[in-house]
A and B are shown apart, each in its own frame.
Chain A
Amino acid sequence: MSTGTPLYLLKNISFHYKERFELNIPELSIDSGASIGLIGPNGGGKSTLLRIVGFLLHPQEGEIYYNGEKVTRETDGPRREVTTMLQEPYLLKRSVFDNIAYGLKMRGERQGTRERVYESLEMVGLDPAGFASRSWFELSGGEAQRVSLASRLILKPRVLILDEPTASVDEASGRLIKEAVLQCREKYGTTLLIASHDQIWLNTIASDIRKVSLGRVWESAAGNLIAGPWKSGENGLYLKKLPDGQTIFATKPPEPERQGMIEATDIIISTMPPERVSAQNILNAGIMNMRIEKESGMMVVGLDAGGLQLTSRITQHAARSLGLFPGEKVWVVFKATSIKWS
């Protein structure tokens, strides 16, 4: 959709923690004004990626361009346009007011502080009169989370990065956080990058959901992971047996234990037994759930194929013409070459 320079451009990014975990991103661009949701398993690289784009971590290899300018360890400019709320937000040992005003103070912005603090508190659904003078230890978990968000919103950020913002809050706080974030986007045109395990919540905010797993960013949200081990089979293919005895075929993995990934758009659903198809993988499956992606309008179908959870992404028209519904028995079809290795 971009017509010019992307806000972020990451090239050949690599980051590893003592050889234990690696994040590898050959290329990733994020347009200004985008609203990107990140999903994926724990340890898949979401938080590391968010810390890199939030300029809290510098990659060991690769280049980051922000607004067309290369970012180095010494670059300070964009740091003040981007703000990150970590998975477990930390409140400074001071009042709610001072916590929220801190970022403004660091920028030397002193005019209208009170009004802006109050406005931010209202954005996150906290009554300024009741909360501004409270101390950091007088807040519940959900309130602390919202104060932490307010301290970011007051900065009118160009980029707002949230790492699991609803992980430890109740449903009401989750709703208020969502409303505040959407309001921020609407008011300031803020670019959003949000990681969450709550995909339903994330779907209500993000227009583009991507999966981060195995240290890679997968283009589609509904990517499927298939764990190893893989055994050598016939015709140069490798196979994995599912709990119900069905078999998945793939090309040669880098090593037998490697986890494979298949894009949800590569999984075809059929309500009839497929015949004479070139794809190696034809599996019996059941439809577990169905939902519509907010912005794309695509239908995301959750499937259970012999104990393996898969997600297929099809058009609403296809879903209607096939007459799909949860609980229905179907066949899923995909090529062995559709399984990619990290």
Chain B
Amino acid sequence: MDFITEGFFQAFQLLLSGNEETYSAIFATVKVSSLSIALSLLIGIPLGFLLGYFEFSGKRQLRAISDTLLALPTVVVGLFVYAFITYRGPLGDLGLLYTITGIAIAQTVLVVPIVISLTATAIESLDRRLKPTLIALGAQGRQIAFTSLVEARFAVLIAAITAYGRAISEVGISMIIGGNIKWHTRTITTAITLETGKGEFSMGIALGIVLLAFAFIVNYSLAFLRKRSA
């Protein structure tokens, strides 16, 4: 038990002293997950809105595909993206392998289905009185569509936060695409994996605490937004 207690003690020392290696992993994580979430929102919100708002043939099939992709294993995404961006792959010339951008792109592939599905659900779950109310108040076409999206904003934010939670905590993609390169592509999750393997619990615990803090903020935000969106 002593090594665990000792690990926690040293973890706080690392965090409070501003240990460079620890903070490098934290910053890399924040950078990569922020980039991936920005990309996935740009792609996912419009697609999710279209999927939820309009009726068209093939909608149910598209929805089923999007929902199935929610359970994409991170290593499978990592593998596929690796195949594309490796130096022998069709996008190899872009030099994305072992870069923050490469990880962000792969994470985007991972979380876009989350944003699409949850946004579509948010739109579909809008109060049935909304549309007649907007028409009664004089809104037309695009105004109705835009207001519907604004009305679903809390639920769409829940989609974004859920996606962020998934991106920040994944390890498979960061390991395969990023290569866990110290000072460069090492993220919190890959660092914890490595340090634990080395028996260096203190840094693992320190990074785990940070990850838990992120998870807490994400969940607290979700609970708050769920209350608002009800």
A: residues with CB less than 8 A from B are: 51, 54-56, 76, 79-80, 83-86, 88-90, 92-93, 102-103, 106-107, 151-152, 155
Are A107 and B136 neighbours in the complex by a CB distance under 8 Å? Answer: no
Are A86 and B133 neighbours in the complex by a CB distance under 8 Å? Answer: yes
Q: Does B19 contact A (CB under 8 A)?
A: no
* Minimal beta-carbon separation of A110 from chain B (angstroms): 14
Q: Which of B127, B143, B153 contacts A90 (CB 8 A)?
A: B127
Write out, one digit per residue, whether chain B residues 117-153 have a CB within 8 A of any chain A CB (1) or not (0): 0000000000101101101111110010001000101
Q: Knowing that A54-B136, A152-B136 are A-B contacts, what are 8 other residue pairs whose CB atoms are under 8 Å apart, sorted by A's residue number?
A: A80-B138, A84-B132, A86-B133, A90-B129, A102-B137, A106-B139, A107-B138, A152-B137
Q: Which of B127, B135, B151 contacts A79 (CB 8 A)?
A: B135
Are A51 and B132 neighbours in the complex by a CB distance under 8 Å? Answer: yes
* Minimal beta-carbon separation of A308 from chain B (angstroms): 37
9 A-B pairs with CB atoms under 8 Å apart are A54-B136, A84-B132, A86-B133, A86-B136, A90-B129, A92-B133, A92-B151, A93-B151, A107-B138
Residue of A nearest to B128 (CB): A90
* Minimal beta-carbon separation of A81 from chain B (angstroms): 9
Q: Does B154 contact A (CB under 8 A)?
A: yes
* Minimal beta-carbon separation of B188 from chain A (angstroms): 35
* Minimal beta-carbon separation of B205 from chain A (angstroms): 41
Residue of B nearest to A55 (CB): B135
* Minimal beta-carbon separation of A108 from chain B (angstroms): 10
Chain B residues with CB below 8 A from A155, complex form? 137-138
Tally B residues with Cβ within 8 Å of A. 17
B: residues with CB less than 8 A from A are: 127, 129-130, 132-133, 135-140, 143, 147, 151, 153-154, 228
Q: Which of B129, B130, B138, B153 contacts A103 (CB 8 A)?
A: B138
Are B137 and A56 neighbours in the complex by a CB distance under 8 Å? Answer: no
Are B136 and A83 neighbours in the complex by a CB distance under 8 Å? Answer: yes
Q: Which of A85, A92, A93 contacts B136 (CB 8 A)?
A: A85
Chain A residues with CB below 8 A from B132, complex form? 51, 56, 84, 86
Residue of B nearest to A57 (CB): B132
Chain B residues with CB below 8 A from A92, complex form? 133, 147, 151
Taken together as a complex, chains A and B put the C-alpha atoms of A76 and B143 apart, in Å, by 14
Are A76 and B140 neighbours in the complex by a CB distance under 8 Å? Answer: yes
Are B129 and A86 neighbours in the complex by a CB distance under 8 Å? Answer: yes
Interface core residue of A55, A89, A106, A152 (most chain B CB under 10 Å): A106
Taken together as a complex, chains A and B put the C-alpha atoms of A8 and B147 apart, in Å, by 30
Known: A90-B127, A93-B151. A106 touches B136 (CB 8 A): no
Taken together as a complex, chains A and B put the C-alpha atoms of A76 and B144 apart, in Å, by 14
Are A90 and B133 neighbours in the complex by a CB distance under 8 Å? Answer: yes
Taken together as a complex, chains A and B put the C-alpha atoms of A80 and B138 apart, in Å, by 5
5 nearest A-B pairs in the assembled complex, by CB-CB distance = A90-B129, A103-B137, A84-B136, A90-B133, A106-B138
Taken together as a complex, chains A and B put the C-alpha atoms of A152 and B137 apart, in Å, by 7
* Minimal beta-carbon separation of B218 from chain A (angstroms): 22
Known: A79-B135, A85-B136, A86-B133. A106 touches B151 (CB 8 A): no
Residue of B nearest to A84 (CB): B136
Taken together as a complex, chains A and B put the C-alpha atoms of A54 and B154 apart, in Å, by 30
Interface core residue of A51, A79, A90 (most chain B CB under 10 Å): A90
Residue of B nearest to A82 (CB): B136
Q: Which of A55, A76, A151 contacts B137 (CB 8 A)?
A: A151
Residue of B nearest to A94 (CB): B150
Chain A residues with CB below 8 A from B140, complex form? 76, 79, 106
Taken together as a complex, chains A and B put the C-alpha atoms of A76 and B153 apart, in Å, by 28
